[in-house]
């Protein structure tokens, strides 16, 4: 039962990482660079949700605010920054995204201050199920993560724009000659990424506390999960997040709490040694 509880705790931890990894992996898959501004965009989403929640007291409105505002921010950043740098090297884009992240974090710090802020939601007693302690909020969190994942899936696999997105992700030149306009695809991509990032930020903010450093500190685990899941694979990102979370928590009886973070990187290392393309990554042909 002790280990079952650890697994539950790990799943909760993993869901949050998985949502963040989902945002990272989408950019990775289509725009082909590691977006280091993802963390700070999450923070932005958390603050947007906080404002929505404070103004109306409704979590649905808060979620809407997070999704809407963050999608808009994401699109703005693309239009002002990443679009101008299209075709530059991956390193240039990565460094630029670090800069974007810095800017966001500082602006959030100036506007909202560095004091911690909280979602004032009533605290509820957990559900006890055969000795397992499950927090109702974590069930909601799992539901939100599932909805986000299904949403991303539907967009990618059931809509024309999703098909174009996948085409651009597979082979940009071929997509171009087939008459796909990459501009529209990119706009759709950044809106989708923004929406997912906003949701991830809000969930993280509700689970912990909201401060300007909130998302930045989430970036490394999110990158790890995106790589482990196979770059560009949405399912992989979420499952890898869960796997890392569970591995971390299950390791604590043996290595203690201070070393659990390194365990997730050991798992990452082992998986990549055996399967260099990640859990769900596809082999890329040599062009």
Partner 1 sequence: MINRRTLLTAVAGTGALMAAPSILRAQGAGAGPIRIGALNPVTGSGSPYGSGMQKMILAAAEAVNAAGGAAGRPIEIIAEDTQTNPQAGVLAAKKLIEANKVQAILGTWSSGVSLAVIPLCNDAGIPLFHCSGAPALSTPPANAKGLGFRFQATNDRFGRAFAEICVKEGFKRPATMAFNNASGIGNTEGFRKAWEAKGGKVVESVVYEPNQSTYRSELMKVLAAQPDVIVTGSYLADTTILLREWFQSGQPVRWIIPGWAANPDLIKALGPEVTEDIISVDSVSNEGSPAYAQYDAAYQKAMNQPGSANVYAAMTWDMVNVLALAIEAAGSADMAAVVPKLREVGNPPGTVVSSFAEGKAALKNGKINYDGASSVLDFDQYGDVTPDFGAYFIKGGKLERRYIVKI
Separation in Å, CA 155 to CA 32, 67, 158, 240: 19, 15, 6, 21
Among 261, 265, 272, 277, binds partner 1 (CB under 8 A): 261
- Mark 91-110 with x for binding to partner 1 (rule: CB under 8 A) and - for no binding: ------------------x-
| Beta bridge mates, 210 | 117
Among 56, 58, 89, 116, binds partner 1 (CB under 8 A): 116
What is the rounded CA–CA span in Å between residue 102 and residue 271?
32
What is the rounded CA–CA span in Å between residue 73 and residue 83?
14
Report in angstroms how near the CB of residue 119 gets to partner 1 at its nearest: 10
Q: What's the DSSP call for residue 116?
A: -
- Mark 198-237 with x for binding to partner 1 (rule: CB under 8 A) and - for no binding: ------x--xxx-x-----xx-------------------
Interface with partner 1, residue 127, by CB under 8 A: no
Q: Any residues with CB less than 8 A from the CB of 75 and at least 6 apart, and which?
A: 187, 190, 191, 194
Q: Which of residues 6-35 bind partner 1 (CB under 8 A)?
A: 6, 9-10, 12-13, 16
Q: Are 222 and 40 in contact (CB under 8 A)?
A: no
Which chain residues interact with partner 1 by CB under 8 A? 5-6, 9-10, 12-13, 16, 109, 113-116, 118, 123-126, 133, 135, 204, 207-209, 211, 217-218, 249, 252, 256-258, 260-261
């Amino acid at each position: 039962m002790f280990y079952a509880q650890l697994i539950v705790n790990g799943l909760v931890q993993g869901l949050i990482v998985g949502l963040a990894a989902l945002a990272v992996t989408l950019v990775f898959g289509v725009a082909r660079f590691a977006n280091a501004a993802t963390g700070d965009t999450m923070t932005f989403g958390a603050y947007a949700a906080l404002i929505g929640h404070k103004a109306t007291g409704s979590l649905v409105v808060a979620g809407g605010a997070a999704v809407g505002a963050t999608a808009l921010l994401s699109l703005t950043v693309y239009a002002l920054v990443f679009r101008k740098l299209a075709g530059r090297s991956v390193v240039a884009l990565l460094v630029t995204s670090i800069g974007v992240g810095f800017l966001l974090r500082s602006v959030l710090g100036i506007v909202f201050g560095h004091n911690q802020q909280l979602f004032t939601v009533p605290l509820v007693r957990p559900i006890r199920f055969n000795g397992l302690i499950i927090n109702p909020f974590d069930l909601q969190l799992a539901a939100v993560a599932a909805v986000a994942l299904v949403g991303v899936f539907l967009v990618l696999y059931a809509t024309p724009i999703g098909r174009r997105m996948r085409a651009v992700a597979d082979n940009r030149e071929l997509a171009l000659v087939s008459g796909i306009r990459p501009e529209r695809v990119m706009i759709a991509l950044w809106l989708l990424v923004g929406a997912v990032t906003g949701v991830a930020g809000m969930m993280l903010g509700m689970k912990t506390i909201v401060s300007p450093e909130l998302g930045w500190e989430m970036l490394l685990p999110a990158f790890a999960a995106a790589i482990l899941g196979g770059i560009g694979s949405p399912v992989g990102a979420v499952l890898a997040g869960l796997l890392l979370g569970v591995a971390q928590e299950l390791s604590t009886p043996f290595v203690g709490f201070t070393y659990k973070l390194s365990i997730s990187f050991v798992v990452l290392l082992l998986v990549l040694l055996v399967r260099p393309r990640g859990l769900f990554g596809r082999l890329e042909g040599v062009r």
